[in-house]
Amino acid sequence: MAPRSPLIVLLLLFVSVPRCCYSTAAAAAATLSSPSPSPSVRSAPLVPALFVIGDSTADVGTNNYLGTLARADREPYGRDFDTRRPTGRFSNGRIPVDYIAERLGLPFVPPYLEQNMRMGVGSAGLTNIDGMIQGVNYASAAAGIISSSGSELGMHVSLTQQVQQVEDTYEQLSLALGEVAVANLFRRSVFFVSIGSNDFIHYYLRNVSGVQMRYLPWEFNQLLVNTVRQEIKNLYNINVRKVILMGLPPVGCTPHFLEEYGSQNGECIDYINNVVIEFNYALRHMSSEFIHQHTDSMISYCDTFEGSVDILNNRDHYGFVTTTDACCGLGKYGGLFMCVLPQMACSDASSHVWWDEFHPTDAVNRILADNVWSGQHTKMCYPMDLQEMVKLKL
């Protein structure tokens, strides 16, 4: 391995220094991770609540409360967000669930760990659960479908653990509101699930524990999808009926892998994208099979890959200048190192598809959210988009 430059060493030291006293830091972060949108006249919500399960594509501050390197609670993250401050979102501004909450007429959904800290473990009074009534976000950066995916970065909340937190929320709300009321709340609410990239980025592609010798790509994908199916069934058992299930983006087009695999002119890495496409196909097939077996459930699979490739192939139409270079990063394509200092960022993120080595900009997140909502730019969701889903009565 080539020796690191003094700048890289300095940056590594910066991000590896523990954030002192997590309980104190968490208390300070609570005021930043779930701000209200800019004041506006909001119509009545289209659904009672939005619940979010996922990884850094959906994390709004969970990892602010954990000992991990996978944190976005420092500048320049959040510089273009409503509050102009970092909140834990891995973007320069909003992420898709923020735009979706707005479409649903709901406030931004707060992190589960923040709510637990505020209400205290075991509290179930009406006042204490007020912040959870319109939704909770359980998503955790670096989390995967496999529990150990991303563990080299530190603590995270895996898919299975997040579903357990949903079950805990169900119990907490039932104690305060009664089980009939909470069953009805969950049946009518939207559950947004976006997870799986880290099982490739931090597990399969790194060949952790020799996984590539034990599983061919299609076998690994089946393992992942079977796990997702079980967790969807666990949610179904607590009356979850409306689910938006996000497919994976073109991971092989991220600045990180363009850099790592030595892409000469910004060509995506086909090997990685082919594995992701195969996973997405299996995920879509599973969701279709699930709603066939559980006819009172609504699961819409949304093809993030398809929506993202449309943006990459039509950058001029969407107003992007570059589809390869991260706005914030180091090295060719900005994919050599994570975004940790404001000085590393470009001046105008809206001209970039990618914000950092793995995550898209606010501008891309808005387009993808529009597609989830109504297929405004390109059809992504099957068998129906979110706008259609919320209109249907159970």
What's the pLDDT at 394?
A: 76
* pLDDT exceeds cutoff 90 at 241: yes
**Which of 321, 316, 323 shows the shortest CA–CA distance to 250?**
323
**The residue type at 18:** P
Q: Return the percentage of the chain with pLDDT > 70, whole number.
A: 87
Task: Specify the pairing of strand 298-302 against strand 50-54.
Answer: unpaired
Q: Is the pLDDT of residue 73 over 90?
A: yes
- Spatial neighbors of 43 by CB under 8 A, at least 6 apart, are 105
Q: Say if residue 16's pLDDT is above 70.
A: no
Whether residue 26 is predicted with pLDDT greater than 60 in this model: the reply is: no
Instruction: Look at residue 142 in the predicted model and tell me its pLDDT.
Output: 98
Q: How far apart are CA 386 and CA 58, in angstroms?
A: 17
Catalytic residue among 98, 325, 356, 385: 356
pLDDT of residue 118: 67
pLDDT of residue 19: 37
Tokens 């060493």 correspond to 9
Predicted confidence (pLDDT) per residue in 112-140, tens digit: 998 877 665 444 445 468 889 999 999 99
Region of 120 please: left (phi>0), alpha (psi -120 to 50) or beta: left
Whether the pLDDT of residue 7 is over 80: the answer is no
User: In the β-sheet with 242-246, what is the strand arrangement from edge to edge?
Assistant: 50-54, 190-194, 242-246, 298-302, 381-382
Average pLDDT (146-163) is: 97
- Whole-number Å distance between alpha carbons of 192 and 185: 15
pLDDT at 80 over 60: yes
Residue 270, number of CB atoms within 10 A of its CB: 11
| Residue 13 scores a pLDDT above 90 | no
Inter-helix orientation angle 270-293/217-236, to 10°: 30
Q: Which residue has the higher pLDDT, 11 or 137?
A: 137
Q: Are 300 and 244 in contact (CB under 8 A)?
A: yes
- The per-residue pLDDT for range 356-392, each reduced to its tens digit, is 999 999 999 999 999 999 999 999 999 999 999 999 9
**Angle at alpha carbon of residue 51, lines to 98 and 187, rounded to 5°:** 130
pLDDT tens digits, residue range 322-340? Answer: 999 999 999 999 999 889 9
In terms of Cβ atoms closer than 10 Å to its own Cβ (0-12, 13-18, 19+), residue 387 is middle
Q: What is the pLDDT of residue 41?
A: 43
Which position among 202, 359, 362, 370 bears the catalytic label? 359
Catalytic member of 33, 34, 56, 91: 56
By the 8 A CB rule, do 61 and 31 touch? Answer: no
Strand pairing of 381-382 and 190-194?
unpaired
Of the candidates 335, 225, 339, the one whose C-alpha atom is nearest the C-alpha of residue 287 is 225
pLDDT mean over 234-251: 98
Give catalytic status of residue 359 as yes or no.
Answer: yes
- Could you tell me which residues are beta bridge partners of residue 154? 68
158, pLDDT greater than 80: yes
pLDDT the model gives residue 353: 98
Contact 364, 327 (CB under 8 A): no
Tell me the two tokens of residue 292.
Answer: 């066939």
* Cβ neighbours for 160, distance < 8 A, ≥ 6 positions apart: 147, 227, 231
Using pLDDT thresholds of 50, 70 and 90, give the confidence band for residue 33: low
Give Cβ neighbours of residue 85 (< 8 Å, ≥ 6 apart): 32, 78
Q: What is the pLDDT of residue 116?
A: 75
- pLDDT tens for residues 164-217? 999 999 999 999 999 999 999 999 999 999 999 999 999 999 999 999 999 999
Strands 381-382 and 298-302: antiparallel
To the nearest whole number, what is the mean pLDDT of the chain? Answer: 90
Tell me the mean pLDDT in the region 56-77: 97
Encode pLDDT of 304-323 as tens digits: 999 999 999 999 999 999 99
